């Protein structure tokens, strides 16, 4: 009998592997379907190797290790935490806002039991789902009434559908935005049944452009915050106050899609471009929409604040039921919004704001700590702390560079691209960026609790 035949005959069967102590252990800990699949796959790989190369490690120990890795892969969740070392705080691809422990605790409490979601405890009868965030949102924004839907895209869609179906919506050409992830204002407009009436030019729109576009079929005047881009140079746009005067004169509602939904004063941080929700509410705009998970730092959601009569009209639209938020989101919203009752505390307690506005010295300390830990363990790479700039991300504050510190890694045995890939596919998953032939770990978005894990991940990737 030749060597190949001999090895093939010695290859253990599925049943034999199931009977070894590891096999018994796996069947207790993992779904049987995945245990069987992993065993079969590993046997197949070994058989192929024998046939093609003439040799394979068919020892129980060797096979057992491979099987276990496969089982773990099969039974692990697809959606998993990653370490964000990109420095981009509102990273849409990485899930935008991370929530604080306090917010998570509230979600856990509400999600794990029954709640008064739609039950009025005072009166002992059916209550309103949105009532749980009405008071706090009114208090912090000054608005008459509120509604929260699945995301800001849904909020805009719902508003257009409610106030301007079959009617014209006047929008400046300088504000016809596309937000990453296929939210294009003209497309949302047509999906809602509203008719887009563009006015002005890309760089300049004046009040008379809006005025000239007014006719008996005008349903809404819409202002959109240029979230993820800025037009600079020879530009002009119409102020909210002027639009409000026009809207009152013609008795046409005015809506402002704010995008990010910033609720704190950014001027102390030298940022003047982002309108505050509270300021816009003061201008008496009829409807304001913004995201829950951009600068607000809460869960995914679309917040609509405005005049009571308009919110009531929204609530009567059957589409509202189709885009309603669930109790987990609501619990996260209420706890997040509560942090804004005290604005100073909001910057401390809401991770998004904390990461954006932490002092560069603190980031530097963290970068140094990471670098020091890495240098102790890693000899085959050049490791330094470097100054750099991070971006807010999520279509927020595109023109602002936030001074930051990053750990620069230049590997000696593999390429920078290989290192990036290994970190991305490793455990823990680390998402980093490459700049000028070095891998950068921006300490802005790395939490203190993640440092040890991050160091272990880099060490494993360079091993």
Ligand X SMILES: *Cc1c(COP(=O)(O)O)cnc(C)c1O
- The residues that touch ligand X, with contacts defined as CB under 6 A, are 151-153, 156, 177, 179, 183, 224-225, 227, 257, 259-260, 291, 302, 395
How many whole angstroms separate alpha carbon 152 and alpha carbon 154? 5
Output 304 or 462, the one with its CB closest to ligand X.
304
Least Å from the CB of residue 225 to ligand X: 5
Q: What distance lies between CA 415 and its chain's CA centroid?
A: 30
> Cβ of 102: how many Cβ atoms within 10 Å?
13
The distance of closest approach from Cβ of residue 300 to ligand X in the complex, given in angstroms and rounded to an integer, is: 7
Between 171 and 458, name the residue whose CB sits nearer to ligand X.
171
CB of 323 to ligand X, least distance (A): 11
Judged by beta carbon, residue 293 or residue 450, the one nearer ligand X is: 293
Nearer Cβ to ligand X (200/298): 298
Nearest Cα to Cα of residue 157 among 191, 196, 112, 126: 191
Nearest distance, CB of residue 188 and ligand X, angstroms: 8
How far is 143 from 79, CA to CA, in rounded Å? 37
Q: Which of 242, 309, 302, 307 is nearest to 281 (CA)?
A: 307
Least separation in angstroms between CB 404 and ligand X: 23
Residue 338 Cβ vs ligand X, minimum distance, rounded to whole Å: 21
Cβ nearer to ligand X, comparing 62 with 180: 180
Give the integer Cα–Cα distance in Å for 277 and 394: 17
Measure the CA dihedral 261/267/270/271, to 10°.
30
DSSP-derived 3-state class of residue 137: helix
When the beta carbons of 289 and 373 are compared against ligand X, the nearer one is: 289
- Measure CA of the first residue to CA of the last residue in the chain; give whole Å: 42
Residue 145 C-beta: closest distance to ligand X, Å: 20
CA distance 150 to 299: 10
Cβ proximity to ligand X, 29 vs 322, nearer residue: 322
Closest residue by Cα to residue 205 from 174, 182, 181: 174
CA separation (Å) from 331 to 185, 299, 304, 366? 30, 9, 17, 32
Residue nearest to ligand X (CB): 259
């Amino acid at each position: 009998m030749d060597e190949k035949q001999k090895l093939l005959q010695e290859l253990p069967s599925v049943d034999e592997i199931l009977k070894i102590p590891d096999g018994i252990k796996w069947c207790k800990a993992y779904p049987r379907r995945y245990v069987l699949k992993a065993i079969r796959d590993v046997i197949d790989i070994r058989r192929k190797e024998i046939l093609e190369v003439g040799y394979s490690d068919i020892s129980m120990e060797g096979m057992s290790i491979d099987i276990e890795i496969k089982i773990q892969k099969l039974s692990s969740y697809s959606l998993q935490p990653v370490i964000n070392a990109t420095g981009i705080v509102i990273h849409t691809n990485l899930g935008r806002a991370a929530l604080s422990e306090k917010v998570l605790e509230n979600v856990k409490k509400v999600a794990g039991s029954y709640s008064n979601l739609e039950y009025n405890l005072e009166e002992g009868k059916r209550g309103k789902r949105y009532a749980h965030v009405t008071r706090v949102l009114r208090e912090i924004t000054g608005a008459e009434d509120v509604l929260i839907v699945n995301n800001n895209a849904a909020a805009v869609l719902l508003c257009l559908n409610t106030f301007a179906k079959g009617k014209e919506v006047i929008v400046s050409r300088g504000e016809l935005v596309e937000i990453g992830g296929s939210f294009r204002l003209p497309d949302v407009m047509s999906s809602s049944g509203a008719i887009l009436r563009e006015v002005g030019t890309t760089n300049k729109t004046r009040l008379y452009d809006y005025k000239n576009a007014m006719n008996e079929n005008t349903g809404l005047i819409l202002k959109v915050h240029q979230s993820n881009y800025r037009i600079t140079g020879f530009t002009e746009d119409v102020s909210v106050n002027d639009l409000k005067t026009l809207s009152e004169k013609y008795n046409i509602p005015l809506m402002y899609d704010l995008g990010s939904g910033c609720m704190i004063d950014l001027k102390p941080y030298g940022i003047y471009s982002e309108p505050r929700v509270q300021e816009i509410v003061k201008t008496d705009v009829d409807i304001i929409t913004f995201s829950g998970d951009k600068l607000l730092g809460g869960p995914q959601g679309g917040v609509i604040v405005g005049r009571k009569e308009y919110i009531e009209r929204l609530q009567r639209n059957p589409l509202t039921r189709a885009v309603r938020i669930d109790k987990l989101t609501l619990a996260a919203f209420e706890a997040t919004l509560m942090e804004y009752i005290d604005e100073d505390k909001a910057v401390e307690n809401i991770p998004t704001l904390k990461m954006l506005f932490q002092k560069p010295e603190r980031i530097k300390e963290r970068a140094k700590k990471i670098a020091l830990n890495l240098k102790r363990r890693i000899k085959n790479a050049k490791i330094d702390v470097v100054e750099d700039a991070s971006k807010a991300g999520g279509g927020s504050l595109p023109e602002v560079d936030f001074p930051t510190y990053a750990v620069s890694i230049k590997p000696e045995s593999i390429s920078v691209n290989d290192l990036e890939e290994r970190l991305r596919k490793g455990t823990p998953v680390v998402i980093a960026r490459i700049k000028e032939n070095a891998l950068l770990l921006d300490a802005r978005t790395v939490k203190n609790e993640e440092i040890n894990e991050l160091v272990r991940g880099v060490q494993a990737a360079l091993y």
